[in-house]
A and B are shown apart, each in its own frame.
Chain A
Amino acid sequence: MTTSINYEDKIPNNVDLSSDRRLQRALEGWQPKFMNWWGEMGPTLETQGVYLRTAISVGRDGWAHFDHVHVPDYRWGIFLAERDPGRTIAFGEHMGEPAWQQVPGEYRADLQRLIVIQGDTEPASVEQQKLLGLTAPSLYDLRNLFQVNVEEGRHLWAMVYLLHAYFGKEGREEAEGLLLRNSGSPDSPRILGAFNEETADWLAFFMFTYFTDRDGKYQLGTLKESAFDPLSRTCEFMLKEEAHHMFVGTTGVDRVVERSAALIREHDTLDIAPRGGIPLDIIQKYINFHYTVSLDLFGSETSTNAANYFTAGLKGRWQETRRKDDHRLTDDGVFLEKPAENGTWTSEELPALLALNLDLRGEYIADCETGIKRWNRIMESAELNHRFALPHPGFNRSVGVSSGHHVTPDGTIVDEATWQAAKHKWLPTSEDLAFVRSLMRPVYERGKIASWVAPPRNGINGKPFDYEYVHLA
């Protein structure tokens, strides 16, 4: 017999865990495995306490409770946004019907698959970022890394909760599977390719949290529209936390750009590498890489799966309810730009229903543009002429209509030889990566920061930058 655990104390929740036998039984089996996984695959750096935010309830104050926490003792909670009892389905063939409180048998397999794929990305990024703590540029950044990690852990819990609460025995097996697949493992890799790449350095971490976590935000946004209400409410709450990851990425890249700009002005040269800064062209190459790998996560531009999910009500569009159309899309069309045989772009009209991935990707690209604008404003205020840009969506793609074609960042379709000759100008080379890695030396002293990144304007929760965010072992 397992000893009974007081779940109310250990796991902050608003799902009435203490009276849900099924959930308790499932967690009894899962929680120790999760703790083992965290021990083996979680952050390598040992700490005595990290100044973390813990969600203890979904209310205005409850979701942001700060304190120093010994990370393995972090209270991963289970929270769903408040239920709207009158919620109806906003799109697809079930539009107008009450949202589902149980999984309809018809859609069990599809919903389970969607949740497993979403769930699989959450622990994956913890695994990818496992070693980063060893090279943190400041205690402030180290704390942010841990915050992102525990929140990814909590998002895993959120998906596991859904699997445990609504998908029975198979759900429990899938929940365990989320811990058995590991990022980069040759035998049992994570489901999506981008989550099997190691996050090698802190610039990659900032780029990942800007671009790849932003993909997560948009995926969660589509699931928030789901007719399956518990999934919708879970994702709604997760989106709140996802905003912090975006913040880490946005301000992280800001601070790198800011520091590089300062070094350029100080030394009056673009070649700031010898001064311990990251040259602007390397930053652009990182943008090119992380942005395009993240575009691949949206899947192929045309997708019958996405169409089926939409029609069934499983997955909506970004901000579905604010859209002004019939929410069924049975008669609408859109245009897709695709590479033609003769090396030009051609436009193909598609049923809108089949182009939902393209629709979501469009929303994402627009959002990514705001980051580019921010970083260019930093350039402007430093009176530098260099401007960052997002590459063409056909650039460096392994998924979709442009995969199999070589497209330059400005959208020109080129042949293999041209591509090979110029690739090093667009994507990080092994020398670039080695250089960035050479800058990655830990700075664990209060108030100090590495050479390649500017300090933040503000600390966490009103604390100053030189606050001891992490007690090291």
Chain B
Amino acid sequence: MVSFDTHPDRYRHWSLRVDGEVAWLVLDVDEQGGLTPGYELKLNSYDLGVDIELYDATQRLRFEHPAVRTVVVTSGKDKVFCAGANIRMLAAASHEWKVNFCKFTNETRNGMEDATANSGQTYLAAVNGSCAGGGYELALACDHIVLVDDNSSTVALPEVPLLGVLPGTGGLTRVVDKRGTRKDLADVFATRADGVKGRTAVDWKLVDELAPPRRFTEVVTERAKELAKRSARPDAEGVELTPLVRDRYVTAELGDGTVDITVHVPDAVEERRDAEFWPLAMTRELDDLILRLRTNEPERGVWLLRTEGDHEVVRGYEALLDTSDWFAREVVHYWKRTLKRLDVTSRSLIALIEPGSCFAGMLAELAFAADRQYLLDDQDAGAAGTLVLTEANFGTYPMGNGLTRLESRFWGEKSQVDTLRKQAGTVLLPDECKDLGLVTDALDDIDWADEIRIVVEGRAALSPDACTGMEANHRFVGPETIETKIFGRLSAWQNWVFVRTNASGEDGALRRYGTGKKAVFDRRRV
């Protein structure tokens, strides 16, 4: 069982040093510290364990260190920045492990960009040695890249020439989409194993600037301070992310191929400025649950999403979050990232809107993130599930495609979104939910249990791969963004390449890497 709990005091691979408005996040991987046995993490290569620490650090920087305005990501090793994901780990891992690992890695990198864009916490890559594959992709997630100009350190994406796979955690996408490298140069870059150094790297826009070894720290520090000036982050007291308490606001019951997830809302609104503040505590629990389920429960393919509590309390908390205060903003962005995590989760998501539920505003987003929404309308008992839309459903929590979940749901029907916005604040009864297209179906209590059972069993009978592909296509309508390209185009191609014999077959490039033997390819283009 993989746990995502960690703390800077226990990091084995990273160190986090805060120096006023600049934080130094230093990668110094413990070779013997792999999450599972069977490989050594040489040359600052990483596995899921290394990434779990990085994710923890990025979260703490946002909540515990509001004064930090620039985060410098650099290496604690000599001559090497980071060699990327560990190849022996990848070669030995099951397909779903690789895919899940890459997804989490991508999410953390998107989180770094989110901090840069929305929290005034800019990431700066101080590339002080060779930087290859996932190492360069980590640098690409930073806003600014400084490369040491020592006539030997290169940035490189050697996946295609060396391993027969793709730089699948954002590399191909960010080089052209984010950094604007010309596509022919990107093509040259991504097919040469040795990478690009010095002036060429700058000319090709692969890095932003060079710094000679002796002035490297000085240049980086200077740049970090400059970037800090862009930020409006306050010099405030942080909120400590105390050890996570589980099963309070988010409970999960593991079933036969299913997980019943319920988000609980407290009886009353309590304003606090610590990790006990319900929206933060709940988000942390759900975030952690999603990660653990994805990693540890791959066979539980259907998640049933419920909420429990009072709409008014949810709306009360929303009111508290609706300020420019840095802490409130961080909680909002964290909930946004957690919802995005749900959006890219390869599980069938079914929202069950029952009497006593509170799918209001920020929690209604959970229902809209789901693939289907079923509402229980118990007319005999006079009890029904309801929905409440609030302003939060119209822009606070965009998806990776830049649209709100309602815009995605009603893609091409802008007027419907406008109509819905006029309904904000009212409790929507079953017929209204149905007429407004907010639920898949509203079911009578006499049918409820059976229908839901049949929906779940029906889903469980389908091909999990086809479901994953289908859901990913339906969830992301409309425009492409770097994020949707990474989770859609890049990941899908990567996952296909991974399972082809040219990569993972006995004679494939991934399997033959490091054996001294050359890969044998099936030459047919597909």
Contact = CB atoms under 8 A, between A and B. Distances in A.
Interface stretch (A64-72, A103-111, A117-125, A201-209): A103-111
Contacts of A60: none
Given A168-B450, A168-B451, A169-B451, A105 B457 contact: yes
A392 interface: no
A103 B457 CA distance: 10
B457 A104 contact: yes
Contact of B454 (A21, A25, A105): A105
Contacts of A166: 450
Contacts of B453: 102, 105
Contacts of B460: 105-106
B447 A168 contact: yes
Contacts of B456: 105
B458 A22 contact: no
Contacts of A106: 457-458, 460-461
Interface in B453-473: 453-461
B324 to A, nearest CB: 47
Interface in B426-441: 441
Interface in B390-419: none
A380 B458 CA distance: 59
Given A105-B460, A106-B460, A169 B454 contact: no
B458 A105 contact: yes
B446 interface: yes
B443 interface: yes
Interface string B142-160: 0000000000000000000
Contact of B446 (A22, A104, A105): A22
Nearest to A20: B446
Most interface-central of B454, B455, B456, B458 (chain A CB within 10 A):
B454
A219 B441 CA distance: 34
B208 interface: no
Contact of A105 (B443, B444, B461): B461
B450 A21 contact: no
Using C-beta atoms within 8 Å of the partner chain, give the interface range for chain A.
10 to 19
B454 A103 contact: yes
Contacts of A103: 454
Nearest to A166: B450
Interface in A293-319: none
A169 B447 contact: yes
A169 B443 CA distance: 8
A20 to B, nearest CB: 9
Contacts of A102: 450, 453
Contacts of B441: 169
A103 B450 CA distance: 9
A106 B461 CA distance: 5
Contacts of B459: 105
B455 A105 contact: yes
A109 B447 CA distance: 16
Nearest to B441: A169
A213 B185 CA distance: 75
B461 A22 contact: no
Contacts of A104: 457, 461
Given A168-B451, A169-B451, A108 B458 contact: yes
A169 B375 CA distance: 14
A108 B454 contact: yes
B348 to A, nearest CB: 12
A107 to B, nearest CB: 8
A88 B302 CA distance: 29
A168 B376 CA distance: 13
Contacts of B444: 169
A103 B456 CA distance: 12
A102 B452 CA distance: 13
A169 B374 CA distance: 13
A45 B459 CA distance: 50
B399 to A, nearest CB: 29
Nearest to A21: B446
B301 to A, nearest CB: 13
Given A105-B455, A169-B451, A25 B461 contact: no
Interface string B190-217: 0000000000000000000000000000
Contacts of B458: 105-106, 108-109
B457 to A, nearest CB: 2
Given A168-B451, A169-B451, A25 B457 contact: no
B447 A22 contact: yes
Given A105-B455, A106-B457, A106-B460, A25 B450 contact: no
B445 to A, nearest CB: 9
B108 to A, nearest CB: 36
Nearest to B462: A106
A103 B444 CA distance: 19
Contacts of B447: 22, 168-169
A169 B461 CA distance: 21
Nearest to B458: A105
Interface in A46-102: 102
B169 to A, nearest CB: 36
Nearest to A168: B447
A173 to B, nearest CB: 12
B456 to A, nearest CB: 6
A243 B443 CA distance: 40
Contacts of B461: 104-107
Contacts of A25: 446
A109 B457 CA distance: 12
A123 B444 CA distance: 29
A70 B444 CA distance: 37
A166 B453 CA distance: 12
Most interface-central of B441, B443, B446, B451 (chain A CB within 10 A):
B446
B442 to A, nearest CB: 10
Contacts of B443: 168-169
A102 B450 CA distance: 9
Interface string A15-55: 00000011001000000000000000000000000000000
A15 B454 CA distance: 22
Most interface-central of B441, B451, B456 (chain A CB within 10 A):
B451
A115 to B, nearest CB: 14
A466 to B, nearest CB: 52
Interface in B229-261: none
Nearest to B453: A105
A107 B453 CA distance: 12
Given A25-B446, A168-B447, A168-B451, 11 more contacts: A21-B446, A102-B453, A104-B461, A105-B456, A105-B459, A106-B460, A106-B461, A108-B454, A169-B441, A169-B443, A169-B451
24 contacts: A21-B446, A22-B446, A22-B447, A25-B446, A102-B450, A102-B453, A103-B454, A105-B454, A105-B457, A105-B458, A105-B459, A105-B461, A106-B457, A107-B461, A108-B454, A108-B457, A168-B447, A168-B450, A168-B451, A169-B441, A169-B443, A169-B444, A169-B447, A169-B451
Shortest Cβ-Cβ A-B pairs, 4 listed: A105-B457, A106-B461, A105-B458, A168-B447
Interface of B: 441, 443-444, 446-447, 450-451, 453-461
